[in-house]
Structure 1
Amino acid sequence: MAFEDLLPEVGARGRFHVLQDISLGISLIFVGCHFLIENFTAFVPEHRCRIPFLDNTSALFNVSTNLNFSSLLKLSIPLDSKGKLERCLRFSWPQWLPLSPNVTGQNRSQLETEPCVDGWVYDQSIITSSIVTEWNLVCGFQTLKSLSQSIFFAGNLVGYVTWGFLSDRFGRKWTILSSLLMVAVSSTGAFFVQSFPVYCCFRFLLGSSISGFFLCSGTMIQEWTTSQYRPLVIIIFGLCVSLGHMLLGVVTYVIQEWRKLQLVVSVPLFAFLLTIWWLPESPRWLIVHRKYDEALNVLRKVAKINGVKDENLTVEALRSTTEKELVPAQTHYTMLDLVHLSNLRTRILCLSFAGFTLGVIFYGLSLDLQYLGHNIQMLQVLLGISTLLSRLGTIFIMNHLGRRTILVAGLLLAGLFIPASVFLPQEILHVVLSMLAVNCIVVCISYNGVYATELIPTVVRNRFRGLTLLVDRVGAMLAPLVVTLRHYSPYVSPIIFAIMAITAGLVIFFFLPETQNKPMPDTMQEIEYGHSREEARPKDKRDTTVKISQF
């Protein structure tokens, strides 16, 4: 008997599972806000050099001239190629030449300029304050904004490794509580910081703890869920993240100061510690660690919540489950074994590249919303609503269209929408095509998790899952750095995203098989001979085994 055979004994999908999903799902809504919160807390407003004699109101009052303020600015700040005030330069001393209509561009270029030595003045009409305005992360320091975002995703990467080990060692429940507490503390702590380096440290801690909460809560949910409902639960978790993105946009209509916003989306996490405290430990983890009495108590408690009789739940049943659960664990594979077989190696390389591409494109587009328009709050809400609908749509089409078909179509369409949006002058079309590209990627992300699970054999599936999570976080970490190329040319980063999307789509189409309505492979041999045990047939009667190094 396998553990999954025991779940119907306590209710495969009862009241307990609904309460568990709600408890963790509400927490995920607020945790999900922190992935894109720097769209607002790191917002870059319009800015120009500070001119002391103009921006000091008392000094301005004493200027004996009938010139208006706009004309006075042109005396002190040169104009760029678009006729707007330069963001990072000013004249070394006020010039009367720019007021003359006969002044050519060559004459202006000969005027002596200097950097903004007295600081900057920022437009506060959209966001009143951000880390950019507080620590002047503009002009020569503009790349520091992207650095803080990359540091957050670097924390994600470290967190997946660290919390995965802690979860296997100390159990799911306590790592969920610990990681959520760390999320609450590190995100709230960012409210109090007074320097940018310290802020980056808190963002790193926040990134690592968020990945721990996502990893451990996802594992807990899946270990309590039968294979029939597992894809649905994964999509529901994705919906909670989309709700978090939407909530973030709504809140910023009211709160436009970065510290207050940071506090508002962080403090509720302390309350959610109480709402998930009641969750029992994963019985699957207890059984694997031979804690049969505790596992039996947990299962009986859940059966009572679900209103199911538990006459068949005994210690003997749990012991028989152990024999089944530990069979795959008796053979240990190294990382070299993952690339030993040609078919498995191809699948791992293709899926890793696809995961890397999805991470780069999704965060590269969704963390650069202000490039799409001035109403960033509306854009954030639109992003949340559209991704919510996209994830809902995957529920209905997942079992009707092939995994590979949807992945290839989504990546190719994204590769077409991204560059097309750049060359369109109309802002509305630019927004529509960019949102379509993001949602194509969101659909691909939802499908990629299921597709990868169906392509990799059971004996190395968890090891591969850890590898793909690392590759995905590397992509997310590099995404803000790719976006910084926009400062040199507005076409570079979109073209990079488009090339990656189209390449990933073609790689999946030519090198990976379709898995719809096919059983998942369990052993390495099945991968070498075919997709599943039904297709696994020795190519030669004299060669009926595949040699794998075991340690």
Structure 2
Amino acid sequence: MQDYEDATAFLGHWGRFQQQVFFLICVSILTNGLGGFFIVFVADTPAHHCLIPDVNLTVDWYRAVIPIEVVDGKQELSRCSRYRLDVVRNLSAQGFLPGRDVNLTDLEQESCVDGWSYSKDIYQSTLVSEFDLVCSEQWKKPFTSTLLFFGILSGSLISGTISDRFGRKPVLFMTMGVQAIFTLAAIFSRSWVVFVILFFLNGLGQVSNFVSAFVLGSEILTGKVRVLLSLGITLSFAVGYMFLPLFAYFLRDWTSLMLVVSLPGFLYLPLWWFIPESPRWLLSQGRADEAEAILRKAAKKNKVEAPQTIFDGVHFLRFTMITGYAGLSLNTSQLHTDPYISCFISAAVEVPAAISSWLALQYLPRRLAVICIMVLGGASLYSIQLVPQDLSSLSMTLEMVGKFGVTAGLSLMYVYTAELYPTALRNTATGMCSAVSRVGSCISPFILELSVYSKYLPQIVLGTLCFLAVFATIFLPESFGQPLPQTIQQMQKRER
């Protein structure tokens, strides 16, 4: 087969056609950034304590019925227990005063049999307060995030094969629709079980949309513009991500936030008539006439003349990166007392990460770029445990440097993976790598729970994964400065 890039050189690299494809693909990613981590707010845990029903208690006993506990050196109301209400009611009726007539530590405690009272200082409602995902049910909160990531894993496995069979464009729009429809449907959940099922289905479209858009753009665009696409897509995700805390700040209940997150997916439907199918994929399917038709339309947009005849007829590495990325992103609500500021900072870090990865893709060999950026991320995460507790701002800075590293590394890997596989397998291979990596995102919510045993254990685990990624990179072939392989034979000739 004639080399695709030689055959399409008449189009140039940055005409009106390429600009349209570049812009529309980047726009389609905005919804991923907006919806990728709304679980940070939707499933955040408000301050809470046992609900005290309307019973006859004096003011002193009403204030004292919830035990005081010491958590991280601070006194706070117990979240999961109260003094036995029948005993407290009798003591109150007899005129005894807590702390003076009665030693509170001698009183028997009971669980929150009447439910919980949730603070509305930050949120009007969250998934946690809606379905009481606290105390004995607390495990359901990280499991909710895990099911989303498991949906993303499943979607990555399925969508790659479907895309290589039926085309990049149908899968791109199908997955955008899946995100929008099931995010909207989850609003009407009347139980946690229904919510997590719909949340899982929402996950089927999340990264599948991202991968399909990236592969479609990579196959249409050529030269340095293909590398520029990595920057554009990553920045679009970051912009959508930065809008998330803004919307969450003004929409303090979880249903309103999810409604706003779901709407952009429906607004993108008209893009179907403006985003073309991948001519490379059409050629790999023997549909040269359709590929030529797309390229001739592109030639008209670029105001160039097409020739009469155009055509002659990495898994573990991604796993470690996505585990670190998901874990650090989900941990944003713990970085600052204001979760909206935390989320914005976490999103804003992705902008310099995107620019850095783009510069690295332009000028550095792929293996060297990945090794350098992951060493930076791992070293930063390891260093957090050395910071004194009174320097919380430094700890936050180091964690954000760690996120900068894994975000930039992940952005590099999307380009790197696409460069390693031939056209006939590119979306399947990229989807498979993404699926394997999503196993990491599935376990990341529980990695954060390791802080119960040691405050810095999650950062140590994530930092270790960064260094394991460095080791894995050594065994990958180099693709810097080489054209995209069109056949398996060309892929096998990659220099190691």
Distance verdict in 2 for CA 1:313–1:483, change over 3 Å: farther
Displacement of 1:76 in angstroms is 3.3
d(CA) in 1 for partners of 2:342 and 2:459?
Answer: 19
* 1:431 aligns with one of 396, 402, 407: 396
Q: Deviations over 1:362-384 (max 9, x none)?
A: 10110121111221111111122
TM-score normalized by the length of structure 1: 0.79
Asked whether 1:149 is paired with 2:114, we answer no
Distance verdict in 2 for CA 1:527–1:119, change over 3 Å: same
Map 1:185-224 → 2, pairs under 5 A:
185-224=181-220
- AA aligned to 2:268 is F
Contact 2:160 2:430 in 1 (8 A): no
Displacement of 1:201 in angstroms is 1.4
Distance verdict in 2 for CA 1:522–1:246, change over 3 Å: same
Q: Deviations over 1:238-277 (max 9, x none)?
A: 1111111101112112111110010112112211111333
Map 1:170-319 → 2, pairs under 5 A:
170-310=166-306, 312-314=307-309, 317-318=310-311
| 2:124 aligned residue | 128
* 2:374 aligns with one of 394, 405, 411: 411
d(CA) in 2 for partners of 1:507 and 1:26?
Answer: 33
The RMSD of aligned alpha carbons is 3.0
Map 1:36-55 → 2, pairs under 5 A:
36-53=37-54
SS in 2 for 1:83: strand
d(CA) in 1 for partners of 2:272 and 2:429?
Answer: 29
* 1:492 aligns with one of 441, 452, 457: 457
d(CA) in 2 for partners of 1:398 and 1:450?
Answer: 8
Distance verdict in 2 for CA 1:456–1:167, change over 3 Å: closer
d(CA) in 1 for partners of 2:482 and 2:293?
Answer: 36
* 2:411 aligns with one of 424, 431, 446: 446
- AA aligned to 1:48 is H
SS in 2 for 1:128: coil
| 1:86 aligned residue | 78
- AA aligned to 2:134 is V
d(CA) in 1 for partners of 2:268 and 2:335?
Answer: 34
* 1:359 aligns with one of 310, 322, 340: 322
Map 1:532-547 → 2, pairs under 5 A:
532=495
Q: Deviations over 1:51-87 (max 9, x none)?
A: 114xxxxx5xx6555x4xxx74333334235321111
SS in 2 for 1:478: helix
Q: Deviations over 1:86-141 (max 9, x none)?
A: 111111133778635996xxx82x53212111111112111221101100111111
Unmatched tracts of structure 1, length 5 or more: 54-58, 323-350, 536-551
Distance verdict in 2 for CA 1:481–1:450, change over 3 Å: same
d(CA) in 2 for partners of 1:143 and 1:173?
Answer: 39
SS in 1 for 2:114: coil
TM-score normalized by the length of structure 2: 0.88
Displacement of 1:185 in angstroms is 1.0
Q: Deviations over 1:372-419 (max 9, x none)?
A: 122111111112222112211222343444433433333233223224
| 2:32 aligned residue | 31
d(CA) in 1 for partners of 2:276 and 2:358?
Answer: 28
- AA aligned to 1:90 is R
d(CA) in 2 for partners of 1:295 and 1:397?
Answer: 32
d(CA) in 2 for partners of 1:278 and 1:521?
Answer: 27
d(CA) in 2 for partners of 1:377 and 1:196?
Answer: 25
* 1:389 aligns with one of 317, 340, 352: 352
| 1:547 aligned residue | none
Displacement of 1:197 in angstroms is 1.1
Q: Deviations over 1:333-358 (max 9, x none)?
A: xxxxxxxxxxxxxxxxxx53321111
Displacement of 1:216 in angstroms is 2.1
Unmatched tracts of structure 2, length 5 or more: none
Displacement of 1:224 in angstroms is 0.7
| 1:375 aligned residue | 338
- AA aligned to 1:370 is S
| 1:549 aligned residue | none
Contact 1:143 1:484 in 2 (8 A): no
Taking only the aligned residue pairs, the percentage that are identical comes to: 30
Larger radius of gyration: 1
- AA aligned to 2:291 is A
SS in 2 for 1:52: coil
d(CA) in 1 for partners of 2:303 and 2:480?
Answer: 35
Map 1:446-465 → 2, pairs under 5 A:
446-452=411-417, 464-465=429-430
Q: Deviations over 1:504-533 (max 9, x none)?
A: 334546x567765678889989999x962x
Distance verdict in 2 for CA 1:207–1:287, change over 3 Å: same
